[in-house]
């Protein structure tokens, strides 16, 4: 997980998970629309997953 990805996850979470697939983008987008903090947490968890 690079520093740029972490910053991107904090400021615009859906953009940081673009390479993880459509499902991840949709989940993070919906959580970001519900609230900024859940979207950031979901993006960081998805980025921290080695798969």
CB atoms < 10 A from the CB of 11, how many? 11
Res 1 pLDDT > 80: no
What pLDDT is recorded for position 51? 76
* Token pair belonging to 36: 């900024």
Domain boundaries defined on the chain: 3-48
- CA separation for the pair 51, 13 (Å, rounded): 18
- For 18, which DSSP code? G
pTM, 2 dp: 0.89
Using a pLDDT cut of 90, give the percent of the chain over it.
Answer: 86
Note whether 1 and 17 are within 8 A (CB). no
């Amino acid at each position: 997980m690079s520093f740029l990805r972490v910053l991107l996850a904090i400021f615009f979470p859906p953009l940081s998970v673009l390479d993880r697939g459509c499902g991840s983008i949709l989940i993070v987008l919906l959580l970001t629309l519900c609230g900024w903090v859940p979207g950031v947490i979901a993006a960081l968890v998805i980025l921290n997953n080695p798969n």
